[in-house]
Structure 1
């Protein structure tokens, strides 16, 4: 049951193991954030996260627990179900997972409550004056404890209590059947209740998170069918005899005649059980799970209010990153939406030019700033504040994305439409935390993700570890991600303001992924009438005509996105000046949106064969286009190639397949064959393929433009 199938019911799906714990930590921190900023009183809210002991091997499960204690998250409780077993076998067959987890959490500053043994053990422990029973409990490893589950009481008597005469005497009054029924703490309702009560009301350390570690048996109640056995996870159904045994063991009032139907048992409405359940839920504020969407719609600003962002930069060179951050700073001052914006950054604020926001908004710190920063004498000093607005997460994209999820689902979980704006190195987004992004989509989160320092050739000098050329390929697979690759600040502005409107004025469930670059160049003003094309993915930017066009030369259509659009424009000029080729340059802002729309039209036509066929936006804007179609971007070729089925005669694509390199932009673009000269050669090769020019002219261009035809293939370099 997930929010897309049950949108009014399922609130916090956690997709892969390990994601629930890290998202719970940052959810609890975000609740404090809302409280400290005066946006909502969350003082009575508590975040509970239920985890398996095997799940603790996932790095995300334990990787952020120090943040929880550091931030004083007394509103957070982990409950770890330690049945000692994972899918294939024991979690720590030769060790003790409970002691291991206790040490980890105590070391991280958490309150630790253990629920190990049921009340049947209390009398035995009370008689253990020499500590022999406790010693035996501590020396038996988890794999052996699992063996006791599947063996009779006589085996337990011999192998657990039999090593010491005093221990054997301690249980001599108990039958083998009673030994078998000695429960583990997680199956004792009173012990579990006491642990939960202590977690809420009697913590050893105030202002700290709490973990309840409970020892249980996997498949408890299934008996020989699956209780404590390695195959328990594969046990999908019970036969009639097994159902009858399960019914009898737990005293479920279902007759022998009904058992075979495996009916769902619900106590009568007026029964003590139902009365108690309803009273408790009403006292706690309502039923869970539930997923209400009760947040108000925001009045989002329009483009007219931010006209400087669509005007020419007048000789001043800026990057699209600067444009996006400057617009963010302006929106933070907006009276309608400013207080709802949550800037999120993983220790790259200065990289992206966000340090002016330190003074403007402050960096969130629950304790406030307890020290004088080293740059306190400067205007843009590092300012932390209890009511700070920026979430400076440190070097953790996973933590940052977890904050994005908490903020992006706040419209539902809190009834407050917060607007996360998460900016990071684009290489460390979909590639590194794609699972969390998928979870955000699943949870119908809303917000902006900015892939900064994007482009395999635009981020120069940092090598293959940082140079992203494939995040847009990943983004293609995420249903609610609208992925854009703008080249100009006016495109960024149109996309951001439209995103604000769709997500927070109209309440649509989207995540806007926008790649922004660190290359500085003069920004043109927005051409008239291109707003629709920017949002739908493509618009005609410019016609480039040759002074002396070659006779019978087919027209050329050049597609470009992001920083490589400027190389496409330069290629168009070379084609016109040196080869007499007329061209139209198209700015592609979203390869994905073009494909999404084209696929929708194709699907509709398949299912409505008797209706007049629909055409996509891409087909409409290219209805009168003909000739050669060439695309270039700072991303792998597979991104533009997805448009090939809808391009007349097909689409020839240049891209940045392969590992990045530590070089400057010009050599990088030549290496990956996306500079203007390579675009020219690619275009001429397609004209030769159509028979419009001879192949000798392509060879001439390769030589005159200084391209080495025998250089290494970048895709395999």
Structure 2
């Protein structure tokens, strides 16, 4: 009988040591590099290359590259026979050596189907950091994946899904995953959707912004063309939230709102609507069961406070992914998402002009703007 050998290796202090060594190596790589990758896809690929190229460290981690799209860095290494790199996680669980410890697992793959993702999570025994680059390929689906896949991610209790907008967000989230899974030994796995768009400003994240990104959202600094001209108390204001590639359209919409219609937008990057919603539900349950204790405030409540400013949340997935945070928005809330274009590659994503119009509609409904302004915007953007 060999069934006893078909278990994932045991978590141990060696696991923690390997994860800390990975984090130290990433710190050193950050200090050495004058320039950083400029998209989530390239950031994750660069991290994999860096860890895989560290020969002493490569024996203590597992990097799986399954159908990874080749990037144009001359440092790319896709040799499945070298170092810690594998093409499947399956061999990791068939080790005959009972002393083998659980190694940090970074699983890079590209798949649009839920069946494939479920197979990969089974291969990895529901552990690891899974990075899907499906969005970098032509597809008829929103963000390159079938609609069932984000639903599964949002409903799977052991999965923490993210949709980073920038390389800096991707790096912060990956570091947090290493810390949570392999130093603190928390259960489950992380999922990152990685795109190759470089338009979002990728300046370094300060510590508070990195912590906010990991928790699900953080406020971006307002751009020079998003201002109130010194009249913040009388200028109509909205809060625009965006995840992944959708954040670029949100930033453009904020600019249009200021330039064309005299409004102001507070822009938030939301790498994980799902994490925000889960924490919100958990806090609401705890508060219900502990009525005499000080109430817990989830991260989204600390971010949005009690303001009556309308909130518009945008995602590159279907609308219901952003709608998860609706119960925790203190004011008028609207969610926007993409729709697949049937029969052809691509999806219908909310554009900057449409986001602007939705923001104006929220302000009209709140009595902050006249309906004539909304009609003028619809005509100016030829949306009516």
Provide TM-score, normalisation by structure 1.
0.47
Q: Which residue of structure 2 lines up, in the alignment, with residue 418 of structure 1? A: 103
Quickly say closer, same or farther: Cα 1:466–1:687, change in 2 above 3 A: closer
Whole-angstrom CA distance in 2 between matches of 1:311 and 1:614: 42
Match of 1:519 among 197, 210, 218: 197
Cα deviation, residue 559, structure 1:
0.3
1:695 equivalent in alignment to 2:378 = no
Contact 1:556 1:628 in 2 (8 A): yes
Q: Which residue of structure 2 lines up, in the alignment, with residue 541 of structure 1? A: 220
Whole-angstrom CA distance in 2 between matches of 1:310 and 1:605: 46
Whole-angstrom CA distance in 2 between matches of 1:587 and 1:335: 36
Whole-angstrom CA distance in 2 between matches of 1:530 and 1:658: 32
* Worse-matched range after superposition: 484-493 or 331-340: 331-340
Q: Which residue of structure 1 lines up, in the alignment, with residue 43 of structure 2? A: 323
Quickly say closer, same or farther: Cα 1:576–1:331, change in 2 above 3 A: same
1:706 equivalent in alignment to 2:382 = yes
Q: Which residue of structure 2 lines up, in the alignment, with residue 676 of structure 1? A: 352
Whole-angstrom CA distance in 1 between matches of 2:333 and 2:45: 34
Whole-angstrom CA distance in 2 between matches of 1:503 and 1:409: 21
Whole-angstrom CA distance in 2 between matches of 1:292 and 1:460: 34
Q: Which residue of structure 2 lines up, in the alignment, with residue 69 of structure 1? A: none
The higher radius of gyration belongs to: 1
Contact 2:227 2:264 in 1 (8 A): yes
Contact 1:309 1:323 in 2 (8 A): no
Quickly say closer, same or farther: Cα 1:354–1:657, change in 2 above 3 A: farther
Whole-angstrom CA distance in 2 between matches of 1:534 and 1:466: 20
Structure 2, unpaired ranges of 5+? none
Match of 2:58 among 324, 331, 338: 338
Quickly say closer, same or farther: Cα 1:701–1:551, change in 2 above 3 A: farther
1:433 equivalent in alignment to 2:150 = no
Whole-angstrom CA distance in 2 between matches of 1:452 and 1:702: 36
Deviations 1:110-134 (A, max 9, x none): xxxxxxxxxxxxxxxxxxxxxxxxx
Cα deviation, residue 575, structure 1:
0.5
Cα deviation, residue 538, structure 1:
0.6
Whole-angstrom CA distance in 2 between matches of 1:485 and 1:307: 22
Cα deviation, residue 535, structure 1:
1.0
Higher RCO, Cα 8 Å, sep 6+: 2
Quickly say closer, same or farther: Cα 1:591–1:413, change in 2 above 3 A: farther
Contact 1:325 1:353 in 2 (8 A): no
Match of 2:276 among 594, 604, 614: 594
Whole-angstrom CA distance in 2 between matches of 1:585 and 1:511: 29
CA RMSD of aligned residues (A): 3.4
**Alignment of structure 1 residues 245-644 onto 2, 5 Å:** 293=10, 295=12, 296=14, 297-298=16-17, 299-300=20-21, 301-302=23-24, 304-307=27-30, 318-334=38-54, 337-350=57-70, 356-358=76-78, 362-364=79-81, 388-392=83-87, 400=88, 403=89, 407=92, 415-428=100-113, 431-436=114-119, 439=122, 443=125, 445-454=126-135, 459=136, 461-464=138-141, 467-468=144-145, 470=147, 471-521=149-199, 523-528=201-206, 529-543=208-222, 544-547=226-229, 552-623=234-305, 625-644=307-326
Deviations 1:521-577 (A, max 9, x none): 364222423121011011111233133769744421110010111111111011011
**Alignment of structure 1 residues 228-243 onto 2, 5 Å:** none
Whole-angstrom CA distance in 1 between matches of 2:294 and 2:310: 29
Quickly say closer, same or farther: Cα 1:463–1:476, change in 2 above 3 A: closer
Q: Which residue of structure 2 lines up, in the alignment, with residue 649 of structure 1? A: 331
Deviations 1:396-442 (A, max 9, x none): xxxx4xx26x53797x97532223322222413xx12354356468x
Whole-angstrom CA distance in 2 between matches of 1:469 and 1:560: 21
Cα deviation, residue 322, structure 1:
1.0
Whole-angstrom CA distance in 2 between matches of 1:312 and 1:522: 16
Whole-angstrom CA distance in 2 between matches of 1:473 and 1:311: 39
Contact 1:554 1:628 in 2 (8 A): no
Cα deviation, residue 329, structure 1:
0.9
Contact 1:481 1:510 in 2 (8 A): yes
Quickly say closer, same or farther: Cα 1:595–1:354, change in 2 above 3 A: farther
Cα deviation, residue 687, structure 1:
1.0
Whole-angstrom CA distance in 2 between matches of 1:550 and 1:418: 52
Structure 1, unpaired ranges of 5+? 1-45, 49-286, 365-386, 393-399, 710-717
Quickly say closer, same or farther: Cα 1:550–1:502, change in 2 above 3 A: closer
Contact 1:502 1:508 in 2 (8 A): yes
Provide TM-score, normalisation by structure 2.
0.84
